[in-house]
Every structure is written in C-alpha cells, then in structure tokens.
Structure 1
Amino acid sequence: MSALFDRARTRLRRLPAPPAPTAPGEVLAETEDLQVRLGAGPVLKGVDVGARAGEVLALVGPNGAGKSTLLGALAGDVPAAGGVVRLHGRPVAGWTAAELALRRAVLPQSAALAFPFSVAEVVRMGRAPHAASPAEDDLAVAEAMAATEVTGFAGRPFGALSGGERARVALARVLAQRAPLLLLDEPTAALDLKHQEAVLRLCRERARAGDAVVVVLHDLALAAAYAHRVVVLRGGRVAAAGPPAEVFTEPLLSEVYEHPVEVFPHPRGTGVVVGPRRMP
C-alpha cells in the first residue's frame, strides 16, 4: 500500500507550490448564473453563491434541491452547462487537477475503498498533493486524526469501521490535505450528537484559521448554530441567502420544506433555534 502511495506522491511532487495565504473575506469559490444539467433536465438554474475565507457557508434545502450538485460544481467535479464557477478568482476549468488538489479539499457523502487500507493510510492520502517533508506529512496526519478522534484506531482496516467512524476518518483525510477551501457534503449524517457537534466546531475552527468552509447540512439547527451564512436551495434555485438569524424564518422554511417549521430566539441570545412544528 505504501509503495502505491509513494508512486503517486512522486508524480505529484511536480506540483507548483501551494497557494499564498488568503486574506480575511477573500472569495475563494463563487458561481455566477450557474446552470447545471444532469441527464435530461436542469438541476441548478441561475445560482449565484460565494464562499469567503474566514466563514462557514451552509447549503440547506430539501432532498433534490441541488445542494450536492452545487458543492460538486464548486469543486470543479460537476461541469456547468451555463454561467461560470471560479476558484481563487480563476474559472475552475483553468486549473489542472493537481492545482485544484492544493486549493480545495472535498468530502463526498460516502467513502468507499476497494483495498484494505488502514485508517492512518487513508488519512495520509490527503497529503498526496503536497511536496512536503515526511515530518510535515506526519504532523498534518497526526493533527487531523487527533482533531477527528480517530488516533486510537489508526492501525485498523478502514473497511472494519462503523459508518460513523469511517465518516470521521474521511474528514481527517480532508483536514490533512490542508487546502484553504473545504467542501463537505453532509459530514454529520452518520454521526452521533457528540461527533456532530465536534465536526461543526472543527468547521468553525478552520474558518477562524482563515479557511473557507462550505458544508451541506440537513439539520437546520446545526446550520443555525454554526454557519456564518446559509444558502437555502429549492428546486435548483436560491430561495434565500444570508446570516441564519435573518434567513431562517418560519414562513420561508415552512414553504421550502412543505412542512410547518418553528423558529425561536435562542434562550442565550446566540441566534435562533429551528425545528419542525409537531402536533401535540
């Protein structure tokens, strides 16, 4: 396994240097009038979004709204049928795959591997884009595993882990990549309450350190608690965008989700609390 990784690393050592540090508020990823078609029909229609250094941007909306497609377009993995996607100020098509790997790290919804890699080997894959010293790689891997609480099973096969453990290992790989733009697709879906909170705290920490974090979430309460800004998608369009306390209103969310939603001021004055309205 290590020989395979080393060969890939040797090829990637021809990469240019990582991007320069970002300035607070700098737009690291954006779309303008983005149109995406998958199959016969449109999935995204005229979408304008921007992810800035120093903030967590949450993409929310019902199933089929286009959240994962938008994340894939921002990553450069989903082609645009119209409009433009820019990463670090350049159209995404203008970057090579190797250059993209230094500028954005992507966490897909599910992580599956065909070979019996250990946890530590999976996390170390995040270092492949970097022409770094072994000591730098070791430090990045160790810090990422500690942050996601997977150090204790570093030697276990990835395939032997539970769904929640795999999700945390996959996130550790993304953190080890140390890209300034993190694109996370439902990172809390398989996690218990403790680790959901831990993952969103990590997102906030990365934003405080200067990264831009874009995260797809189904849990509106988590989005309200941790996102600096939210984009509400409905039917492939942006229904609303802005700070959660401004965007998350009962009329809007009830209409978007086609279910009554309640929004309350947080009892400690730190934003809003969101949840479905349930019959007694």
Structure 2
Amino acid sequence: MIARITGRLFASGRGLALPESSAPGEVLAQTSELVVRLGGREVLAGVSVAARAGEVLALVGPNGAGKSTLLAALAADLAADEGDVRVCGRAVARWPARELALRRAVLPQAASLSFPFAVEDVVRMGRAPWAGTAFEDDDDRAVREAMDATEVTEFAARPFSALSGGERARVALARVLAQRAPLLLLDEPTAALDLRHQELVLRICRERAAAGDAVVVVLHDLGLAAAYADRVAVLRGGALAAEGAPGEVFTGELLSEVYRQPVEVFPHPRTGAPLVTPVRG
C-alpha cells in the first residue's frame, strides 16, 4: 500500500540532485541572525547556530525559550521573518521539497496518523523521497535496520494507533532513520520514553554523528545533553544565552539564571561529564 502511494507521489527520480558525502565538521544547516514572529510576538530574536557533520547539537532551555521554533526553522517548516536559514549551503526556500527531504529528516514532538497503518508501513514512509532513484533498492534494508535500531521490529505488523506513546515515539524515530538523510532534526525524542529507551535514542544520535550525519536534538534533560552532545545551545527568551561544549557551557551560575532555579553542577566521577542537579532543601 505504502509502495503504491509513494510510487504515485514520486514516479521518477531522474534529474534529482542527490545528497553528496559531507566532510567532518562541514556545516549542513545554519541560521544567521534568525528572527521569527508568531502571533505578533517575537519568538526568536537574532539566533545564529550551526549544525555540523559528525556532531550532535543539543538545543536546551526552559519552556517557551524557542527551541522547537528554532528546530522548525532549520527544517524549513517555519519561515524566517528576518535573517537567513541554510541547509547544505543553500537557502531553505530555494530547495525543492523532495530534494530537501533527501537532505534533512524531521521528528516532530507528536506523532499521529489518521489511518490505521501498520508499524512497518509507517517506517517505510521515510523512504518516500528515494522512490525512483538508484537507492530505491535499499528500501527494505533501510526499514529493517531502522526498526532494529529502535527496537520496534517485534510489533511491525501492529497498527500504529494501537501503540503506547513511547512505542509511537520509537516508530516515528525509525521512520526518520529510514529516510537516511544526512541532517537529523529531532524535537524532544525522549519525552515519552522510559530510562532504557531514552539512553537508546541518544546512543542512536551519537552513532549517526559518528557515521557523519549532523544531529540537532531538542532536550529538556540536561544530563542527557551533557552526556551525549558535542555542543549545546542554551536558549532563553528567544535568544542564544550560550553555545559550546557542555563542559564549558553548563555552569551552575548560567543554568541557575536561565532556568530561574538554583542548580549545582558536578563532574561525573568516571566520565567527567557535567551532572546537573537542582538545589533542594
């Protein structure tokens, strides 16, 4: 069924510009002085960030800081009011939709479908941009590997609508992985997951970065960001409060100010990664 749908949507891949291999550290997406206004309110105010091949960039900050808006702008799902957004060196508005889909894969906060598709069919939707190209033959392997990585293979035949919230989140991530785009944009991928699967998702992020992809992930858990991100961008009130390696950026002073909650930051006794804990009592 999915194959028939995608076949009609993308009958031919002839003339399609396919993604090229990226050099380590190459900028695959960036914003420059990005301003976004929603409902007359400035949600992002002059934010400049870059996602580089081989790195995990975590976007952190309190509720309403602009993290999801920034991710949506990088994905070209939300237009900039001022400033510039580029993917693979080209302004996002200049990318044809299908060629953009070959270069960036997006995981939104909520995953919902109106029809009772089976889990495997949902994951296979990620392969739609490759229909009619020389890489179409990779579909089965890409779907299988994505399902194995996210541990959803055992319920491949179940309807997506019958899954728990955490199971749906993992299936949605599998769809993104099956797309095999070099830029992954993930909005709170761990929000509905238990401890084991939170760690699984962040390990997948690290693996994709090690394979040469650029990964941008919105996180609320500062411990996960510190443990798995190469760089963190701390947002506050729609502006960039700090950006750099977690060990440099995550200080008690900065985080206490940004979150308006006293916190302490300690080095992990084994890894040295920052451990962030609220001041209690």
The equivalent of 1:236 in structure 2 is 238
What aligned pairs does 1:6-17 form with structure 2 within 5 A after superposition? 6-10=7-11, 13-14=13-14, 16-17=16-17
1:15-62 Cα distance to aligned partner (Å, 9 max, x none)? 614211100000000011000001111000010100000000000000
The equivalent of 1:139 in structure 2 is 141
1:180-239 Cα distance to aligned partner (Å, 9 max, x none)? 000000000000000000000000000000000000000000000000000000000000
The equivalent of 1:34 in structure 2 is 34
The equivalent of 1:256 in structure 2 is 258
The equivalent of 2:171 in structure 1 is 169
Provide the rounded CA distance (Å) in 1 between the counterparts of 2:56 and 2:125. 24
What aligned pairs does 1:34-113 form with structure 2 within 5 A after superposition? 34-113=34-113
Provide the rounded CA distance (Å) in 1 between the counterparts of 2:136 and 2:244. 42
Aligned pair in 2 of structure 1 residues 133, 98: CA closer, same or farther (>3 Å)?
Answer: closer
The equivalent of 1:182 in structure 2 is 184
Letter in 1 for 2:163: L
The equivalent of 1:192 in structure 2 is 194
1:52-73 Cα distance to aligned partner (Å, 9 max, x none)? 0000000000000000000000
1:154-181 Cα distance to aligned partner (Å, 9 max, x none)? 0000000000000000000000000000
Please list every run of 5 or more consecutive structure 1 residues that lacks an aligned counterpart in the other structure.
Answer: none
Aligned partner of residue 146 in structure 1, secondary structure: helix
Decide whether the 8 Å contact of 1:223 with 1:230 is kept in 2: yes
Provide the rounded CA distance (Å) in 2 between the counterparts of 1:258 and 1:148. 35
Bigger mean CA deviation after superposition, 263-272 or 55-64? 263-272
| Deviation of 1:105 (Å) | 0.1
| Count of aligned pairs | 278
Q: What is the RMSD computed on CA atoms of the aligned residues?
A: 1.2
Aligned partner of residue 112 in structure 1, secondary structure: coil
Letter in 1 for 2:222: L
Runs of 4+ in 1 over 6 A off after TM superposition: none
Provide the rounded CA distance (Å) in 1 between the counterparts of 2:135 and 2:236. 46
Aligned partner of residue 80 in structure 1, secondary structure: coil
Residue 126 of structure 1 pairs with residue 126 of structure 2:
yes
Provide the rounded CA distance (Å) in 2 between the counterparts of 1:157 and 1:214. 29
1:131-173 Cα distance to aligned partner (Å, 9 max, x none)? 2455410000000000000000000000000000000000000
| Deviation of 1:6 (Å) | 3.1
Provide the rounded CA distance (Å) in 2 between the counterparts of 1:184 and 1:99. 19
The equivalent of 1:223 in structure 2 is 225
Decide whether the 8 Å contact of 1:15 with 1:129 is kept in 2: no
Provide the rounded CA distance (Å) in 2 between the counterparts of 1:81 and 1:22. 29
TM-score (norm 2): 0.96
Provide the rounded CA distance (Å) in 2 between the counterparts of 1:219 and 1:269. 18
Aligned partner of residue 128 in structure 1, secondary structure: helix
| Deviation of 1:86 (Å) | 0.7
1:251-280 Cα distance to aligned partner (Å, 9 max, x none)? 10001000011100111133211122221x
TM-score (norm 1): 0.97
